[in-house]
A and B are shown apart, each in its own frame.
Chain A
Amino acid sequence: MIQATVMGLGLAAPGLDDWAQALPCLRGEQPWPGGALSVPSPTLLPANERRRTTPLIRLAMGVAEQACAQAGIAPAELACVFASAEGDTLIVERLCEALSLPEKPISPTQFHNSVHNAPAGYWAIAAQARQPSTSISAGPASFAAGLLEALSYLQAEQAPVLLIAYDTALPLSLAPHGDVQQSFGCAMVLAPQDEGLAQLACLGLASGKPSTLAQPEWEVLRRANPAAEALPLLAALARGESAQLALRYLDEAVLQVQVG
């Protein structure tokens, strides 16, 4: 069993710009407003760098900034785990459109933005973060796999770690051929110390069904974005409750976690 303390949280969902806005909705005190995701504008990035980024990069950085601010830990001190199921599908669309033209007009910026670790690269530069950083995918299990990576890093190094999970809705051309229908991002700073927002323990992989959310609209969002598989955990954290949860993994497996 791996234990950690949740130090800070970040969130961006359709109609909800940050964790503070999400709190009453996740507690069931207010309905989820829905609508479109307003892509964050990360403050760490200088304007000239921000122009070179994509919505996916800004989404990842925006929720990461929120989590660091709440944790009160300098971003430069945090190792990072970036988890995204499908990567930057808007860049894929633009790149493949360009390659379908005779002149193959790919720009250098487009090309370096096409790597799965582009958000991690921009974050490291903006935050001057030189700690280890990884960028992963585990398809529908991306959030749970990211959490396992973050917790195993924390356990091995006894150092704080920033987990960011994010995916943007597929662009028009790819939407009929893939699964991500809504944009969603969340981030959490996890640390080995005792004082923080809540305790989190990882109980391991097991067979079972993922935990669901009481509000049907949250359930729809959970199923529309692999990063939103974090919602059962985020809702428990928002309510400040102790709970044992099952987060979606692959096939019939779930990742069991305990919060409180």
Chain B
Amino acid sequence: MPVQALRLSHYTVSNALGHGLAASWQALREGRSGLRPLDYAPVLSGRPLQTWIGRVEGLEAVCLPPALADYDCRNNRLALLGLQQDGFEQAVAVLRERLGAARIGLFLGTSTSGIEETESAFARRDAQGCLPAGYRYRQTQGPFSLADFCRQYLGLCGPVQLISTACSSSLKVFAAAERHIAAGLCDAAVVGGVDSLCQSTLYGFNSLELISAEPCRPWDAQRNGINIGEGAGFAILQRSGEAGQGPRLLGYGESSDAWHMSTPHPEGDGAVAAMQQALARAGLEASAIDYINLHGTSTPSNDRAEDRAVLRVFGNNTPCSSTKGWTGHTLGAAGITETVFAALALEHGYMPQTLNTRSIEPGLDAGVLLHPREQSLQTVMSNSFGFGGSNASLILGRAG
């Protein structure tokens, strides 16, 4: 089924490049990465890990409102910081006033939620092995924590979903929101995703030998893994007539690899299915896509599989790039972060390069940009693929 006419009327991102849209946009323009050598405190005191990360400045000082203090954790602090940028929470308040709190859906993605709290609680067990008394599973580490915090903070009481499909989580929020609006369950939706640094992902990806000791270099012949980042991003999705300006949601696709828990299908079968479904839903030929923001994690197998998939759907002429070299891999926030980057590309007619990448691995033939390109864009795609073989692809069209 084709999607109804929906627009992203407002959007915001916060990540290693800074707080709010302008910080990300400036860094993308200037080719300035937000990655830094690992300086995440809980890991510095543990087993040494050589890597770079995309850390968000200032989270330690963020205070949740007293009524929601039980939800305090790094992930919800990042959520709050994100909601406070670019007038986003004010825009939600205006929407709430117009439609009513019960008619606005909330669809958010995260991968690891507030697991840092549990990691810390286990390190502070008492002599009997009991976790500290003030530790709260449901409000911090439970998967719903992020959406539960945000719905109360934003004063929304429509349908709510927390999607947790690893690295595709916050791209799939657009699909769920579109379905709920189409079914009449809500009239507009707040979508987004937040994921934050924790030991689980740093040591977990390390156990899979997927962590790079250097700034990541997607598609590079020498690439050797990811840098983990953290980020928050949100968007308001409304029907076209009510949304004024803003990029249009033209299509989305979702598929399952049915192949392996942590490695993509080598020929990119699932990614091909997601991209083709997005094109079919948008009623577009592959040639109509002007730019693709790749998932591009910089692991050898992920980039190879995505390269195969993009070649199978688009051939080698469609300009594409991975922006992981700017932000690191923000996991459950990657979908929203890169969809907003794709929206910025549309708005400014500017395709960012694949930062840090020097020479593309021979045999990878997708149209990967090593230099930025300025060109008016009409339609862009964003890809996100995750563990468990969860694939999602989204198409945005230019405002107007």
Contacts and interface: CB of A to CB of B under 8 A. Distances in A.
A131 B142 contact: no
A152 B203 contact: no
A145 B136 CA distance: 23
B142 A145 contact: no
B176 A149 contact: yes
A10 B148 CA distance: 29
B185 A148 contact: yes
Interface residues of A, number: 70
Given A92-B118, A156-B179, A156-B183, A132 B256 contact: yes
A149 B390 contact: no
Contacts of A114: 200, 204
A121 B388 contact: yes
A201 to B, nearest CB: 12
Interface residues on B, range: 35 or more
Instruction: Label chain A's interface by main secondary structure.
Output: mixed
B166 interface: yes
B384 to A, nearest CB: 13
A145 B159 contact: yes
* Centre residue among B182, B257, B262 by max chain A CB count within 10 A: B262
A173 B144 contact: no
B164 A104 contact: no
B260 A125 contact: yes
Interface stretch (B77-85, B123-131, B236-244): B123-131
A189 interface: no
Contact of B207 (A96, A108, A174): A108
Interface in A97-122: 97, 99-100, 102-104, 106-108, 110-118, 120-122
B255 interface: yes
Contact of A177 (B102, B137, B144, B269): B137
B302 to A, nearest CB: 14
A129 B26 CA distance: 42
B157 interface: yes
A173 to B, nearest CB: 6
A65 to B, nearest CB: 16
16 contacts: A87-B143, A92-B115, A99-B122, A115-B387, A130-B258, A130-B270, A134-B254, A136-B161, A137-B164, A148-B185, A152-B180, A153-B179, A173-B130, A176-B131, A178-B138, A251-B157
**10 closest Cβ pairs, A-B complex:** A121-B388, A116-B164, A111-B204, A132-B254, A139-B144, A137-B143, A178-B137, A152-B179, A124-B256, A96-B122
